């Protein structure tokens, strides 16, 4: 509940104050001059933080309960998502990993009354609550809450990981191996993944032996972890049956003059020095563009997208499905969709192609959704009725009424007939 009042400061100015009463009766007071005399005492500030934390916990609990209800009603199907996690990730602007935790936690809290109370009262933060909800029971939750208040989030997560692993069929779990990598903001690659016990033992032994045999690093970075990174690179390049192909995007002029940067497909921008290093260790496939950045297409020559053009499409679309909230990056599931369908006279050019996964490709051709590509290279999706699909929270009504909401300026796209579903 919000109660508004006025406060007169020493200079005679009036500042709007906001009193926010939490469910337990605590009052949160905020104003725009907290740092002006008289400054609140430290205890008063602590009390305000406590009240704010309770209010946040109450709101987060309401959000989780609402997500659970939406999941039961399968509202995500209405907006073309595979599951509730995809819907939440798109609407709230969070990672799919966190969205899965929210969805699973919301369902679990339905049978954990004390953990639910702890979140609503601000006794435990959302992150700790979601970790505890992975393995707590109604019989153990009280003891776990008391313990969680005394330890770090990392400790809670570690205990949850251990508990969940015990509940799984360990033998089946250990049969699974997976290596994943992605590019970090600073241009380096992060590589991680679980290996079977036998694979892990061999990899660890091989890396250690190779790292110990390497000469000192000329740059002075000679700790064991750095040597293992160099050992991994050496093992891959020496033992591959053929040199690995690396795709690099670069303008024609940069390749001609030798002084321009390149960009690794799906990765960071690299300097000419690193392009030269790759050229000596791998097979490079350059995807060339005109100096103004405009690549060439093949027009109506073929409906099939050639490999070099498909690489340009993936590069522009960040190597993922362009549907809002879809995190599909697996190349086997990605397709290049003709915006203006080939059967309608559309061309096989970059500006007429977007990346979609197989699920959302069928959403277009079976359910009648449409997608448009803006001049900035971003996509806009439209429901079958032609309305613009914005997965985020609804904008303020004033923006819509004044015509300042971006989605409202896009022209509606008419509904497609199901008979046209044979297009691409």
Number of residues in the chain: 424
The SS3 of residue 302 is coil
The answer as to whether 364 is a domain residue is: yes
Same domain as 209, residue 117: no
User: Do residues 45 and 158 both lie within one domain?
Assistant: yes
Number of domains present in the structure of the chain: 3
Domain annotation covers residue 208: yes
Q: Which domain holds residue 344?
A: 319-422
Q: How many CB atoms sit inside 10 A of residue 127's CB?
A: 14
The answer to whether residues 93 and 120 belong to one domain is yes
Q: Give SS3 for 234.
A: helix
Residue 173 domain flag: no
Q: Do 71 and 147 sit in the same domain of this protein? A: yes
pLDDT in the model for residue 33: 46
Q: Give the pLDDT confidence score for residue 408 in this predicted structure.
A: 43
Residue 351 covered by a domain: yes
Q: Flag whether 307 is in a domain.
A: no
In 10 A of CB 131, how many CB atoms? 25
> Is 365 contained in some domain?
yes
| Eight-state DSSP code of residue 175 | T
pLDDT tens-digit profile, the chain (424 residues): 333 333 333 333 333 344 445 555 555 555 444 445 555 677 788 888 888 889 999 999 999 999 999 999 999 998 889 899 999 999 998 888 899 999 999 999 999 999 999 999 988 999 999 999 999 999 999 999 989 988 888 888 888 877 775 444 444 555 567 788 877 777 788 888 887 765 776 778 788 888 888 887 766 666 888 888 888 888 877 765 444 566 677 665 555 566 667 777 666 677 766 665 565 555 555 555 555 545 456 666 777 888 888 888 988 888 889 998 887 887 778 999 999 888 778 888 888 999 999 899 988 988 889 999 888 788 989 989 888 888 766 656 665 566 555 544 444 443 443 333 334 4
Same domain? 131 vs 248:
no
Asked if residue 156 and residue 198 are part of one domain, the reply reads no
Tokens of 357: 């996964």
**Any domain includes 131:** yes
Is there a single domain that holds both residue 50 and residue 149? yes
Provide the pairing of β-strand 14-21 with 2-8: antiparallel
Q: Which of 289, 310, 343 is the last residue of a domain?
A: 289
Pick the last residue of a domain from 235, 270, 289.
Answer: 289
Same domain, 115 and 193: no
Q: Please indicate, yes or no, if residue 368 is contained in any of the structural domains.
A: yes
Q: What are phi and psi of 287, to 5 degrees?
A: -105, 105
Looking at the DSSP bridge assignments, the partners of residue 305 are none
Cα 392 from chain centroid? 14
248-267 burial code (b ≥16 CB/10 A, e <16) = bbbbeebeeeeebbbbbbbb
Q: How far apart are CA 329 and CA 341, in angstroms?
A: 23
SS3 of residue 183 by DSSP? strand
Cβ proximity of 128 and 153 under 8 Å: yes
**Residue 188 confidence (pLDDT):** 83
Same domain, residue pair 55 and 152: yes
For the chain, the maximum distance between any two Cα atoms, rounded to a whole number of angstroms, is 81
Based on the domain organization, do 415 and 346 belong to the same domain?
A: yes
Task: Respond yes or no on whether the N-terminal peptide bond of residue 38 is cis (omega within 30° of 0).
Answer: yes
**Same domain membership, residue 198 and residue 101:** no
Concatenating the DSSP letter of every residue in 55-100 gives: HHHHHHHHHHHHHHHHHHHTGGGGGT-SSHHHHHHHHHT--HHHHH
Q: Are 132 and 198 in a shared domain?
A: no
Please compute Rg for the chain using Cα positions: 28
DSSP label of 412: P
């Amino acid at each position: 509940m919000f109660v508004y009042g006025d406060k007169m400061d020493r200079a005679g100015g009036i500042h709007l104050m906001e009193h926010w009463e939490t469910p337990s009766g605590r009052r949160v007071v905020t104003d725009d001059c907290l740092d002006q005399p008289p400054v609140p005492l430290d205890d008063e500030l602590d009390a305000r933080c406590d009240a704010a934390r309770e209010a946040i916990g109450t709101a987060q609990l309401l959000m989780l309960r609402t997500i659970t209800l939406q999941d039961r009603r399968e509202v995500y199907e209405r907006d073309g998502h595979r599951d509730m996690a995809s819907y939440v990730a798109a609407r709230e602007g969070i990672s799919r990993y966190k969205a899965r935790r929210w969805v699973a936690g919301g369902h679990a809290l339905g049978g954990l009354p004390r953990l639910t109370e702890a979140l609503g009262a601000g006794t435990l933060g959302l992150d700790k609550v979601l970790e505890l909800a992975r393995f707590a029971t109604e019989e153990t939750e009280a003891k776990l809450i008391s313990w969680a208040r005394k330890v770090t989030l990392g400790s809670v997560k570690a205990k949850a990981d251990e508990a969940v692993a015990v509940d799984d069929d360990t033998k089946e779990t250990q049969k699974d191996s997976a290596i994943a990598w992605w590019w970090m903001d600073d241009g380096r690659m992060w590589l991680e993944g679980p290996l079977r016990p036998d694979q892990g033992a061999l990899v660890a032994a091989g890396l250690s032996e190779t790292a110990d045999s390497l000469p000192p690093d000329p740059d002075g970075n000679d700790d064991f972890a750095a040597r293992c990174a160099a050992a991994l690179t050496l093992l891959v390049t020496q033992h591959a049956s053929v040199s690995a192909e690396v795709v690099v995007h670069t303008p024609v002029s940069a390749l001609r003059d030798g002084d321009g940067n390149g960009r690794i497909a799906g990765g960071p921008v690299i300097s000419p020095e690193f392009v030269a290093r790759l050229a000596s260790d791998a097979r490079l496939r350059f995807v060339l563009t005109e100096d103004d950045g405009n690549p060439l297409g093949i027009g109506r020559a073929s409906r099939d997208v050639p490999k070099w053009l498909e690489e340009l499409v993936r590069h522009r679309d960040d190597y993922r499905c362009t549907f809002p909230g879809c995190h599909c990056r697996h190349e086997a599931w990605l397709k290049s969709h003709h915006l203006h369908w080939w059967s309608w006279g559309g061309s096989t050019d970059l500006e007429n192609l977007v990346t979609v996964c197989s699920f959302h490709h069928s959403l277009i051709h079976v359910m009648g959704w449409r997608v448009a590509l803006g001049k900035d290279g971003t996509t806009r999706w439209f429901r079958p009725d032609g309305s613009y699909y914005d997965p985020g929270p609804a904008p303020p009504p004033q923006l819509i009424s004044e015509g300042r909401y971006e989605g409202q300026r896009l022209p509606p796209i008419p509904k497609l007939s199901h008979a046209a579903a044979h297009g691409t």
